[in-house]
């Protein structure tokens, strides 16, 4: 539709002198820009025609004296021709899907807006296509014309929900784009901050240029297609009507427009007319009408018909016109005055030129028009339309068309929402958060000010509601023929949301483990609030209805955890969350959060996501680190697209929502708190849940607890489990004391503390020094003398409970070996044996290749992924979410002490500990025989598979700029280093690890510099930024030995380590060759 004068053009000067300064403006800069962008010649020619119209001084005005009214048209209800189904094989249906709906506050394809019963415009369109094919028994061709702004969203939608349609040849045709023009010079506008703002869509008149330039017109004609039916994606009433198609074909029209008769509501819109000079049908829009002709323009008894934008086109006739006109169709110009950055009114003033596809009616000889019933014209342009369509005033037919409810007696209710308050869809969503009101008995609804409605609200007759207060007021029950002023009515009380002004804060880009910074930074004004709001905005924009289901909140108990939870609750309520599950004491380990999301019920309360407050193994306390991450409804970390959207939101945020008066929740006491609004329209439930229950209950279904208990009860078996004062302590107690009946003395440091007792809760040989010493080792894994007996089994957990370290008596099990041993012995664990055995395994790229050998031996699917649990999660969900191959049961792990399986979507420290104990129990079925130890199991494994000597050096807290420069130098020299001899090794390949996800096709680049030696040895470098300050360079050294199994790690890797230090030159870049941690 062509915009009105006031809304789009602002003004069209009638004086030719206004344009005289620009007559000489050249099109060449535009041509150069478009050619550089690879835009089709047909689109360039079409834009050149429009550009020349602009600079020539053409105002586009169509005087009343030059046109005549259209006489009576054929009404489709009177068509008597017998529908001819044979025509369907020559017909293509095309939906225009290029609009973002920015006028309604949307930033994605408007067609993805929910319409009714959970279905979007695209859902109903897809279902209409499928139904149409079933009805006619023919595979009627279907196409979409997307824009560069809607293509990705739309294709992802079809691939996910309607894969058979997505796979069809030629589903998408892309709309072209044209340069925005400087309003003074008419040269292409520039936008340094975002070059994409320099382009705009050319209007739906681009249909013809896109058909030609894409080659689709030629392909359709070659394929035997003759007729095309075109309509807007937001007009769900416009379906392929065989009777109308037959009329179009039998009348031999070259072009046919579906029109409706104008009413008082339509008088300001455009109309159909006849041009006196050549008797052609033309369109005249309001922007084309001179002021003095306005009365005639609005005379609906004179100019009786308007364009529905449902068009029928003879493709062969279109090709003739294109050939005759030099490769395009010359259409009337529409000019819009804008700013180059639509979000910045102070940016460069620009002109956007558009054309309308309906205007092509004047280009076709033999064009015609017909009158159609209003049921074929039901577009959604404003929130008034959307509310009406969502209400019971409309129903969905068996062929998925929205039609007026028969109870309305053929007359739709007139909806007049406050245009200032309800211009944006978001405002309507807030107003109807409690449900859509009944409008089937309503004649007219007028709303002035902000109100809220719900399922219990029933409007009857003529209703007018006024609210002069700033707070939206709730109206409910039956309201019949009434004028109401609800300004003084009670409101939401403690549930009243407030939008607090804020501004973007630099550095809030989340990594693979969320956002981690110094605690004081999180405690600074608006820091936490900004990020939380950015997440909510991204989650809601992604289609999650946060008012349904539950939000889980918990963390590792570090400093600021308790206060952050209260803030998240208050902000969650303000953003529409109705139910929360908070871990008792604010505690939930990271794997427990995943288990809670996946396992806790009932179904109608299932969690849609979670905030986890953790910085994992980083130190805690007011001077140390804090972190936050978001997990989605599968229990796993937020996918990349969601984190990218979150980050983008942090860079543009203007306010955050919070219910400041929502009461503080006592998170230290299990129980339920319900807060009801003053007007009783809404309530919020906050459940403080037992922190350990869901996770421990799940683990009991995975492992043989009876066998493990029998092992633990042996006189010759002792164990110690160090939780390092992190969140794992309560879980260790629940498992080993409460369930397995062991004395609490088997646990150490199991009381969570907000600063981890001043320690570094990282389960490795350096930081878990108390446990390491107890097990008779030093920080390099060497044996030391210990007074008294050494436990048979030792384990440690990190701050958030997702990592583990396993030790035997004076024996350290590397994480890589631990993963390999668990995989090799997975049949000992009921979770795997009861499902027919393990199917697949995966490791992160830096992890040693020990598990690769097991996977090959057991004929398991194997994957090498980048570091990050989300890559494992994709493989786990390959079948359930992505409809691909089923890789479960599944085990995966990382060299950074992370191991897990598909029971949750996070690494799970206590799972790994129980897995080892289950394996030990299976190896020791007879208590009368000598104990098979941890060391025995590992050495038996080496004897069968060989040994991967392996270590990792961490250089923590180095300067990030310097470390980045070091990585860049190695990356630049990969080609030069490939084939190079270094010491006794030859570098077979030097590269930067790149991973193409086999499940979703996403590509992860720059995942680590690898030096792969010809004998299978490896040197790897990665740069990690998950610490609160500085960066960490990780250096990985690995050498495989099939026979020589008893060397010390340091001696086995001595030469490779020296080579690695030389290759990276870390001494020069970072000032040190001494690691802070060696694993």
Contacts of 943 (CB under 8 A, 6+ apart): 1045
Q: Which residue has the tokens 């164990």?
A: 719
Instruction: Using DSSP bridges, classify how beta strands 199-200 and 334-339 pair: parallel, antiparallel or unpaired.
Output: unpaired
Handedness of CA 861, 867, 872, 875 (dihedral sign): negative
Nearest residue to 281 via CA among 359, 172, 345, 205: 359
Instruction: Using DSSP bridges, classify how beta strands 498-501 and 655-658 pair: parallel, antiparallel or unpaired.
Output: antiparallel
Is-contact 874 868, C-beta < 8 A? Answer: no
Give the Å distances, CA to CA, from 268 to 132, 303, 359, 418: 35, 11, 18, 19
Nearest residue to 75 via CA among 273, 239, 244: 244
Is-contact 229 311, C-beta < 8 A? Answer: yes
Could you give the maximum distance between any two Cα atoms of the chain, in Å? 111
Helices (H), 278-325: 294-297, 315-324
- How far is 352 from 199, CA to CA, in rounded Å? 9
Q: Which residue has the tokens 């809220």?
A: 452
Query: In the numeric block, which tokens belong to residue 886?
Result: 């089923």
Instruction: Using DSSP bridges, classify how beta strands 671-676 and 683-689 pair: parallel, antiparallel or unpaired.
Output: antiparallel
- How far is 262 from 268, CA to CA, in rounded Å? 10
Nearest residue to 486 via CA among 453, 513, 462: 453
Question: Side by side, which strands form the sheet with 67-68?
Answer: 67-68, 271-275, 281-284
Contacts of 1068 (CB under 8 A, 6+ apart): none
1016 C-beta neighbours (distance < 10 Å), count: 13
- How far is 706 from 712, CA to CA, in rounded Å? 10
Is-contact 199 174, C-beta < 8 A? Answer: no
Is-contact 44 32, C-beta < 8 A? Answer: no
Per annotation, catalytic residue among 233, 589, 594, 616: 616
Query: In the numeric block, which tokens belong to residue 544?
Result: 């999650």
C-alpha 846: how far from its chain's center?
28
* Gyration radius of the chain's alpha carbons: 34
Is-contact 205 47, C-beta < 8 A? Answer: no
Annotation marks residue 616 as catalytic? yes
Contacts of 84 (CB under 8 A, 6+ apart): 242, 245, 246, 249, 250
Nearest residue to 1003 via CA among 871, 841, 863: 871
Helix (H, G, I), strand (E, B) or coil at 729: helix
1037 φ, ψ to 5°?
-125, 130
386 φ, ψ to 5°?
-65, -45
Question: E-assigned strands of 733-817?
Answer: 747-748, 793-797, 804-808, 811-813
Nearest residue to 760 via CA among 954, 563, 959: 954
Q: Which residue has the tokens 């009343």?
A: 64
- How far is 1029 from 957, CA to CA, in rounded Å? 7
- Active-site residue set: 616
């Amino acid at each position: 539709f062509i915009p009105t004068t006031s809304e789009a053009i602002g003004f069209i000067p009638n004086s030719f002198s206004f344009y005289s300064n620009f007559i000489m403006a050249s099109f060449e800069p535009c041509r150069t820009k478009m050619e550089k962008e690879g835009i089709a010649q047909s689109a360039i020619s079409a834009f050149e025609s429009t550009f020349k119209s602009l600079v020539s001084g053409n105002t586009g005005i169509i005087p009343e004296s030059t046109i005549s009214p259209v006489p009576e048209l054929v009404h489709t209800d009177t068509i008597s021709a017998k529908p001819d189904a044979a025509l369907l094989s020559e017909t293509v249906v095309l939906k225009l899907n290029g609009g973002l709906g920015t006028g309604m506050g949307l930033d994605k394809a408007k067609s993805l807006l929910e319409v009714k019963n959970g279905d979007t415009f695209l859902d109903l369109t897809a279902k209409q296509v499928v139904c149409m094919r079933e009805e006619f028994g023919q595979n009627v061709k279907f196409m979409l014309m997307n824009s560069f702004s809607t293509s990705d969203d739309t294709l992802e939608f079809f691939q996910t929900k309607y894969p058979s349609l997505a796979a069809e040849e030629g589903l998408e045709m892309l709309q072209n784009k044209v340069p925005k023009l400087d309003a003074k010079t008419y040269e292409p506008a520039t936008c340094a901050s975002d070059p994409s703002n320099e382009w705009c869509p050319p209007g739906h008149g681009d249909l013809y240029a896109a058909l030609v330039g894409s080659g689709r017109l030629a392909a359709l004609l070659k394929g035997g297609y003759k007729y095309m039916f075109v309509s807007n994606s937001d007009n769900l009433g416009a379906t392929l009507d065989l009777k109308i198609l037959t009329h179009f074909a039998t009348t031999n029209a070259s072009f046919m427009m579906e029109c409706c008769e104008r009413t008082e509501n339509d008088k300001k819109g455009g109309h159909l007319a006849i041009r006196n000079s050549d008797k052609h049908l033309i369109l005249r829009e309001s922007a084309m009408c001179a002021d003095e002709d306005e009365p005639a323009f609005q005379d609906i008894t004179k100019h009786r018909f308007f364009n529905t934008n449902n068009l029928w086109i003879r493709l062969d006739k279109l090709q003739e016109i294109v050939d005759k006109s030099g490769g395009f169709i010359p259409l009337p110009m529409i000019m819009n005055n804008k700013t180059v950055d639509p979000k910045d009114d102070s940016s460069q003033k620009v002109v956007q030129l558009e054309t309308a596809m309906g205007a092509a009616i004047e280009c076709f000889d033999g064009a015609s028009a017909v009158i159609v019933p209003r049921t074929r014209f039901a577009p959604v342009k404003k929130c008034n339309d959307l509310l009406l369509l969502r209400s019971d005033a409309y129903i969905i037919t068996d062929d998925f068309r929205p039609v007026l409810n028969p109870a309305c007696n053929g007359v739709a209710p007139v909806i007049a929402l406050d245009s200032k308050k309800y211009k944006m869809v978001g405002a309507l969503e807030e107003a109807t958060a409690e449900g859509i009101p009944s409008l089937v008995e309503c004649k007219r609804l007028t709303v002035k000010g902000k109100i809220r409605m719900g399922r219990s609200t029933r409007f009857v007759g003529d209703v007018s509601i006024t609210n002069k207060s700033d707070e939206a007021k709730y109206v409910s029950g039956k309201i019949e023929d009434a004028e109401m002023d609800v300004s003084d009515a009670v409101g939401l009380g403690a549930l009243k949301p407030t939008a607090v002004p804020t501004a973007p804060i630099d550095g809030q880009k989340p990594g693979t483990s969320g956002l981690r910074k110094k605690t004081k930074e999180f405690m600074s004004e608006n820091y936490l609030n900004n990020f939380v709001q950015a997440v909510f905005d991204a989650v809601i924009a992604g289609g999650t209805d946060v008012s349904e289901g539950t939000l889980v909140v918990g963390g590792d108990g570090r400093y600021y955890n308790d206060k952050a939870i209260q803030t998240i609750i208050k902000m969650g309520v303000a953003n529409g969350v109705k139910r929360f599950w908070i871990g008792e004491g604010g505690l939930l380990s990271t794997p427990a959060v995943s288990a809670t999301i996946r396992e806790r019920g009932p179904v109608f309360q299932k969690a849609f996501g979670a905030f986890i407050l953790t910085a994992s193994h980083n130190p805690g306390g007011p001077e140390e680190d804090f972190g936050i991450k978001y997990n989605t409804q599968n229990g796993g970390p937020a996918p990349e697209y969601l984190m990218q959207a979150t980050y983008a939101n942090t860079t543009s945020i203007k306010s955050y929502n919070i219910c400041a008066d929502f009461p503080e929740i006592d998170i230290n006491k299990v129980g339920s708190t319900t807060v009801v609004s003053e007007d009783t329209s809404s309530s919020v439930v906050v459940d403080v849940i037992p922190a350990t229950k869901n996770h421990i209950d799940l683990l009991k279904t995975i492992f043989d607890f009876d066998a493990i208990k029998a092992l633990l009860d042996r006189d010759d078996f002792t164990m110690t489990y160090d939780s390092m004062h992190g969140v794992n302590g309560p879980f260790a107690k629940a498992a080993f004391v409460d369930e397995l009946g062991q004395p609490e003395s088997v646990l150490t440091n199991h009381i969570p503390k907000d600063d981890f007792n001043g320690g570094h809760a990282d389960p490795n040989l350096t930081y878990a020094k108390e446990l390491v010493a107890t097990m008779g080792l030093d920080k390099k894994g060497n044996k030391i003398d210990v007074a008294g007996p050494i436990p048979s089994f030792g384990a440690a957990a990190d701050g958030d409970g997702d990592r583990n370290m396993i030790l035997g008596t004076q024996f350290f099990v590397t994480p890589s070996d631990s993963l390999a041993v668990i995989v090799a012995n997975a049949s000992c664990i009921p979770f795997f044996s009861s499902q027919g055995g393990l199917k697949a395994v995966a490791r992160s790229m830096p992890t040693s290749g020990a598990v690769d050998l097991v996977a090959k031996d057991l004929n398991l699917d194997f994957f090498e992924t980048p570091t990050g649990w989300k890559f494992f999660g994709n493989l786990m969900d390959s079948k359930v979410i992505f409809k691909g191959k089923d890789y479960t049961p599944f085990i995966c792990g990382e060299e950074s002490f992370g191991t897990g399986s598909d029971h949750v979507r996070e690494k799970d420290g206590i799972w790994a500990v129980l897995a080892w104990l289950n394996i030990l129990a299976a190896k020791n079925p007879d208590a009368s025989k000598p104990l098979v130890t941890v060391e025995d199991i590992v050495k038996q494994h080496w004897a069968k598979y060989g040994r991967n000597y392996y270590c990792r050096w961490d250089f923590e807290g180095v300067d990030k700029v310097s470390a980045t420069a070091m990585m860049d130098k190695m990356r630049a020299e990969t080609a030069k280093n490939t084939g190079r001899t270094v010491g006794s090794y030859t570098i077979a390949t030097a590269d930067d690890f790149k991973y193409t996800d086999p499940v979703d096709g996403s590509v992860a680049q720059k995942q680590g510099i690898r030096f792969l030696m010809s004998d299978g040895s490896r040197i790897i470098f990665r740069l990690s930024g998950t610490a609160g300050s500085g960066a960490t360079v990780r250096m990985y050294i690995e050498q495989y030995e099939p026979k020589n199994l008893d060397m010390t790690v340091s001696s086995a890797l001595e030469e490779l380590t020296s080579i690695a230090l030389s290759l990276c030159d870390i001494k020069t870049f970072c000032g040190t060759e001494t690691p802070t941690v060696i694993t």
